[in-house]
Amino acid sequence: MQCACCDIYIYIYIYIYIYTVFTAMFWSSSALQASTSPDAPGGASSSGAADLAFPWSHVRLPNYIVPLHYHLWLHPNLTALSVTGTVRIQIQVKNNTNWVVLHSKALQIATATLRDHNMAHLSDQVLPVLHHPAHEQVAVFSPRVLSSGHTYFLQVEFGAELAEGFYGFYKSSYKTGAGETRVLASTHFEPTSARKAFPCFDEPSFKANYTVSIRRSPEHIALSNMPIEKTVRLKEDLMEDHFATSVKMSTYLVAFVICDFRAVSATTSSGVQVSIYAAPEKLAQTHYALEVAVKTLDFYEKYFNINYPLPKQDLIAIPDFESGAMENWGLTTYRETSLLYDPLTSSAHDKLWVTMVIAHELAHQWFGNLVTMVWWNDIWLNEGFARYMEYIAVEATYPELRVEEYLLNTCFAAVGRDSLNSSRPISSAAENPTQIREMFDTVSYDKGACVLHMLRHFLTDEVFQSGIVRYLRKFSYGNAHNQDLWDSLANTCSEEDFTSGKFCYSDRQASKNAYLFAGEHLNLTAMMNTWTLQKGVPLVTVAREGSRLLLRQERFLKAVLPSDPVWATLQRGYLWHIPLTFKTSTSSTVHRHLMVTQTDSVRVADEVTWVKMNTDMAGYYLVHYEGGGWDQLTRLLRDNHTALSYQDRTHLIHNAFQLIVTGKLSIGRALDLIGYLPSETHTVPLLQGLGFLDAYYRMLEKRTDHDVTRKLRTYILHFFRGVIDRQTWEDQGSTSERHLRSEVLSLACDLGHAPCLRQASQRFADWLHSKGTLSLPTDLTETIYSVGAQDEQGWEFLLHTYTASQSETHKHKILSAMGSSRDTNKLNRLLEMALKGEAIRNQDFSTLVYLVARNPHGQRLAWDFVKKNWGLLVEKFQLGSFCIRTFIVGTTGQFSSPEDLSDMRSFFKSIEQQASQLRATQVALDNVQKNVLWMETNLGPLRDWLNRNIH
């Protein structure tokens, strides 16, 4: 049978083939005069080449020239905030051409020269340099043909301003305790900003070696990916550092920093020197990071069975940094809150965060740096792996942190995004810089990690580990696709590997590779393509019929009901290969079954009274139990909840509340399910149940239905009274216990629990009386500050403390507290301070707007602020960046009325040119549509349930 659209695909294929052949012929031309491409873009400018048209019309570079080695000389002037530089790139030519096309953005190019392999000039004339700003490209014209198979040297002299913002080679600064401002310069190139620092082939597959030299003043130090080989004094006030040549790597991993920082250092068991750099007055906050980095590098070298390939690993805390951290090879850069740990002000959660971020970035030294995705559509191969390796590494090196308890929330976050129609496949098309920046999202990080977690449990730890080691070894210093990972995990190698005696299949057998799984064979590629090449998350519905479980899979959608006419269309074509696992009442054995069809069935014993699917939530899918399934599990939790693992209990709670918005489960049955929680002793299911009630309360308190809001508040405080009363106000207990204490008391005070408010108020008053010198319990500092911030004197003193604090972690707690004020004048004051750059750094701008938006007195304020200042926000932050997404999704996340939805649509239409480039706008709309649907279907039933259950 031939599908109806196959003929269309054939025509498209023929067109692409002809176009490709034509393009190759064009670029092979040895004509000395440049040809004008028929689709050359308009608006391209030229320098010294008025009669030449820009020779390339695509966003991605041609592949007929490959860089081999960059020699980069830079002289950043931290007084003038400018940079002069020279780059000499050794290039290899694959097709005869007169043109070298590469990337450049916001650089003033002075001259460009071309030399042959003997360093002889190809021309006595100044070479024309054409600019294409829209594609961030320049083209250098050579009067002599660059011949296929030969190497040449392209040298470019350029200048630039140190960038404002967080990308490229940019300016940062900090204040000393004495109030003096110190300036530094740092880089952040991922994904497409190396071109802002020097002309380069700024795509991940163009890997090359780098030899960097940097000029600086004597009072500064210079850092780059590699160690310094020598330092030359050029003048009394000018030094030049020459760094060792790097390994082969992508442009986005190049890094350099010029600063006056200090460091602490140690050495790993294999001899790698690890150093933590920070501003001099923050050096005492670096010691924990040093311990973590050394232990983590040691762990990864053993786990991957591949030595870290560089002689040193620097970690540096940059005062101005938009994301959490960046994995530049040998010089990882961090936001201060992600690297610095102050025992006096950092909480248990802060400690966990620092540990996990370091583990994430160091995992990248293998996943991303050693082996890089071919293109940004597969960025999950970097980020999904690094996110998952955080958990594996920290669980092994710091078991007391119980990091595995947080993996469930990572997967729940992925499900939240993936259950909206605006989600995307893990592997998605992304061409221009805005699209590429948006690929760094929940899908790449969290869903990628959770799919890997499912795969690891499916294949077993040993097979998974040996497979990724094989992947890393085979593609070291190169680039890889999704398929390369599946082949490595399926033990597929080349013919050469097969004949060398390794346990591999031949290439001819690759498509037939299979693991024996519960007596069934499977094609690993076919299975994993269903998880990476289509969006969404499956819902498996289970119905009991005698000794059989009848199974049905469908796409899980939260913003569309099955009664909606569009629902069937959104379901069409979706099918996953799901590695099902389940336990029953009669056995602790984990049963396994691979579901590869829309409907299926498995056999269970007749005497089974309950079934729990997706054991320990190792699989990335939701489960709905038809018939009496939910009632059986509700009784089990009430009568003997420890019959299920804490992961299974948490998974049941999560699934039940997810199903409410779809109409498959009533809110009353979900609330009945968590009725056992007063008997729960494990942190994770407790916080899961509490989290849903808190989320409902947050959404309701921003509406005018005060009666149901008041009743829900009363119910939460009564229902969790035992948990609240058990909490102490000291930093003690395990990480899990401290996390629970922080969350529970924060909510209790926020809900107006009188004993909580009295305790927090007294502690804040004592702290205020001591003029901020009194030590507060670090896990509860933010809660205490939030209570104190409701008072005029307290808020003003917090602002004073914020501006003077030398701990960014402490400052975040203060900012969160000030953002909780019920005084809209104070909230407006904070927003204006951020807009003007007064006291509140740009890196914290989007965080502040989010904090104000989650405040019931500030939600509308924050959204109006974003609308009013949208133009300024886009100027400050790149379209598609983390900050822009937070402004859009974070401020609207708890909107829940049709009027809110209409307002959002109107605003997005008014900025249509920018909104059309952003996936985040549709995510925001879908999220609010989900909230509107929840309100329409559940507000009444929730009110009725509360009336029945509040005594």
Please say whether the dihedral angle defined by the alpha carbons of residues 785, 790, 791 and 793, taken in this order, is positive or negative.
positive
Chain centroid to CA 356: 13
User: Could you tell me whether strands 151-161 and 108-115 are parallel, antiparallel, or unpaired per DSSP bridges?
Assistant: antiparallel
Indicate the residue type of 26: F
Burial class (CB in 10 A: 0-12, 13-18, 19+), 646: buried
Which position among 203, 291, 361, 438 bears the catalytic label? 361
User: Could you tell me whether strands 256-259 and 238-243 are parallel, antiparallel, or unpaired per DSSP bridges?
Assistant: unpaired
Instruction: Please give the structure tokens belonging to residue 584.
Output: 């029953």
Q: Are 338 and 325 in contact (CB under 8 A)?
A: yes
- Residue closest to 367 by CA, chosen among 314, 256, 445, 288: 445
How far does the chain reach from its first CA to its final CA, in angstroms?
Answer: 66
Phi then psi dihedrals of residue 335, to 5 deg:
-65, 145
* C-beta atoms surrounding 553 within 10 Å: 22
Check if 701 is active-site.
Answer: no
Helices (H), 517-645: 524-532, 567-571, 629-640
Instruction: Please give the structure tokens belonging to residue 511.
Output: 């498509």
* C-beta atoms surrounding 134 within 10 Å: 12
Distance in angstroms (rounded) separating the CA atoms of residues 863 and 852: 9
Q: How many residues does the chain have?
A: 951
Distance in angstroms (rounded) separating the CA atoms of residues 101 and 91: 11
* C-beta atoms surrounding 667 within 10 Å: 23
Distance in angstroms (rounded) separating the CA atoms of residues 193 and 8: 38
Helices (H), 583-701: 629-640, 646-660, 667-673, 683-700
User: Could you tell me whether strands 129-132 and 137-146 are parallel, antiparallel, or unpaired per DSSP bridges?
Assistant: antiparallel
Separation in Å, CA 517 to CA 342, 522, 583, 623 = 48, 8, 17, 21
* C-beta atoms surrounding 548 within 10 Å: 12
User: Could you tell me whether strands 312-318 and 331-335 are parallel, antiparallel, or unpaired per DSSP bridges?
Assistant: parallel
Spell 754-770 as b/e; 16+ CB within 10 A means b.
eebbebbbebbeebbee
Strand order in the sheet with 45-47: 45-47, 129-132, 137-146, 97-103
Q: Peptide bond preceding 191: is omega within 30 degrees of 0, i.e. cis?
A: yes
Distance in angstroms (rounded) separating the CA atoms of residues 54 and 42: 9
Q: Are 774 and 802 in contact (CB under 8 A)?
A: no
Helices (H), 770-807: 781-788, 792-804
User: Residue 137: which H helix or E strand, with range?
Assistant: strand 137-146
Distance in angstroms (rounded) separating the CA atoms of residues 166 and 186: 9
Q: What is the CA radius of gyration of the chain?
A: 29
Which residues does residue 90 pair with via DSSP β-bridges, in sequence order?
Answer: 69, 153
Distance in angstroms (rounded) separating the CA atoms of residues 592 and 600: 13
Which residues does residue 372 pair with via DSSP β-bridges, in sequence order?
Answer: 479
Chain centroid to CA 438: 10
Question: DSSP for 87-135?
Answer: EEEEEEESS-EEEEEEE-SS-EEEEEEEE-TT--BS-SSPPPEEEEGGG
Chain centroid to CA 291: 25
The residues that are catalytic are: 361
